[in-house]
């Protein structure tokens, strides 16, 4: 299966490790990613705070380019994923918006008829590979690891997932990799988004609540599906440890890094050394027990 890959700016910047592991895992699972040619920034949640029509144009241009490529689009950042889906929904629902955006696209010789499917890589793994098949592919079960899932806001808000998929279905990924699933009620709570950089006191507070609760639930690892959540939750730990003397140290890998480890993909291909809070301690406490893949 081949997909059009919409990396978004993060994956080419601070989230290189997420991208490395995404490619490695998709490759191992026989899923091909073809980067969208000439993609532009989706506009995230900032651009629309200045100009809404331009913001929708940004998303629509990517959709139009993807439509030409003719494949489903994989967007590994929750913000890109939601923004592209929202543009699709609003263009279909609001005709005056659509007319303006269509005219703008036409200036660049593009058109968009609304046929693109935007997917998150987690959806693809669960739907196309499936929990059962994934379990059978595991070579290095993450035995003894207590893993809490953290999905963030935009994966399921404002749009629900396709084909009746739920976060509870996604949770099953964790036991499939051989780890213990930590029941984490805050799994779709906000990480603060860009507030951690703008109104820091408040943004930090949201990150802190996540970390504190993950620790309280005895999680060894908090696994993320969004490079922005990943960065937020990872970079602020030191300061809580130093300032508040609370041990909130917890590794926050991107989900394909965990899948990759369990599949036995070499650590260097998964960008584990790029994590600010390394997985080393967990890896030492739970030495690998290799098992022949079924």
Partner 1 sequence: MSPSFQPSVKYQKQLKRDLAAEILATPGGEKIYSCLQCGTCGGSCPLSGYMDFTPRQLIGMVREGFKQEVIESFSIWLCASCYECTVRCPAGIHVTDVMYALKRVAIREGIYPRRFPVPVLAKEFMRMLKSTGRTNEFWLAFKMLVKTTPLKLLTMWPLGLQMLRRGRLCLTFNRIPKPAGESLRQMLESVGERQ
- Site residues (CB under 8 A) for partner 1? 9-10, 12-17, 38-41, 43-54, 57-58, 61, 82, 90, 93-94, 97, 100-101, 103-105, 107-109, 153-154, 157-158, 189-190, 192-195, 197-199, 202-203, 206, 235, 273-276
What's the closest the beta carbon of residue 96 comes to partner 1, in angstroms?
9
C-beta closer to partner 1: residue 134 or 270: 270
What's the closest the beta carbon of residue 129 comes to partner 1, in angstroms?
28
Which letter does DSSP use for residue 254 in this model?
A: B
C-beta closer to partner 1: residue 133 or 276: 276
Continuous H helices in the chain: 8-12, 16-28, 52-69, 78-93, 95-107, 121-124, 131-137, 167-171, 173-176, 195-198, 200-216, 227-235, 237-243, 255-263, 280-285
**Residue 77 three-state SS:** coil
What's the closest the beta carbon of residue 139 comes to partner 1, in angstroms?
26
What's the closest the beta carbon of residue 1 comes to partner 1, in angstroms?
27
C-beta closer to partner 1: residue 176 or 225: 225
C-beta closer to partner 1: residue 146 or 255: 255
What's the closest the beta carbon of residue 133 comes to partner 1, in angstroms?
32
What's the closest the beta carbon of residue 269 comes to partner 1, in angstroms?
14
SS3 content of the chain, % helix, strand, coil (to 5): 55, 10, 40
Residue 138: which of 268, 258, 27 has the closest Cα?
258
What six digits make up the tokens of 211?
């970390």
**Residue 4 three-state SS:** strand
CA distance 2 to 74: 10
C-beta closer to partner 1: residue 90 or 215: 90
Contacts of 254 (CB under 8 A, 6+ apart): 15, 17, 18, 21, 22, 223, 224, 225, 227, 230
CA distance 259 to 172: 12
What's the closest the beta carbon of residue 125 comes to partner 1, in angstroms?
24
C-beta closer to partner 1: residue 17 or 140: 17
What six digits make up the tokens of 273?
């050394």
C-beta closer to partner 1: residue 61 or 120: 61
């Amino acid at each position: 299966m081949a997909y059009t890959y919409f990396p978004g700016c993060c994956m080419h910047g601070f989230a290189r490790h997420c991208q490395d592991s995404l490619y490695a895992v998709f490759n191992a699972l026989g899923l091909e990613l073809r980067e969208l040619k000439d993609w532009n920034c989706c506009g995230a949640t900032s651009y629309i705070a200045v100009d809404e029509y331009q913001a929708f144009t940004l998303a629509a241009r990517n959709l139009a380019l993807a439509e030409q490529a003719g494949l489903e689009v994989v967007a590994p950042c929750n913000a890109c994923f939601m923004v592209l889906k929202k543009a699709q929904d609003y263009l279909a629902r609001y005709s005056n918006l659509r007319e303006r955006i269509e005219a703008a696209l036409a200036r660049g010789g593009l058109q968009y008829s609304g046929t693109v499917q935007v997917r998150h890589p987690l959806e693809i793994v669960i739907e196309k590979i499936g929990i059962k098949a994934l379990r059978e592919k595991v070579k290095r079960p993450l035995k003894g690891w207590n893993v809490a899932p953290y999905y963030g806001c935009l994966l399921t808000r404002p749009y629900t997932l396709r084909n009746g998929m739920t976060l509870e279905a996604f949770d099953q990924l964790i036991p499939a990799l051989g780890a213990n699933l930590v029941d984490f009620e805050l799994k779709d709570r906000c990480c603060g988004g860009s507030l951690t950089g703008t109104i820091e006191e408040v943004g930090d507070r949201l990150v802190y609540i996540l970390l504190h609760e993950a620790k309280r639930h005895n999680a060894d690892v908090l696994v993320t599906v969004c490079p922005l959540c990943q960065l937020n939750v990872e970079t602020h730990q030191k300061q809580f440890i130093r300032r508040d003397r609370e041990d909130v140290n917890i590794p926050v890998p991107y989900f394909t890094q965990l899948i990759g480890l369990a599949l036995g993909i070499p650590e260097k291909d998964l960008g584990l050394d790029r994590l600010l809070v390394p997985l080393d301690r967990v890896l030492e406490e739970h030495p690998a027990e290799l098992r022949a893949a079924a």
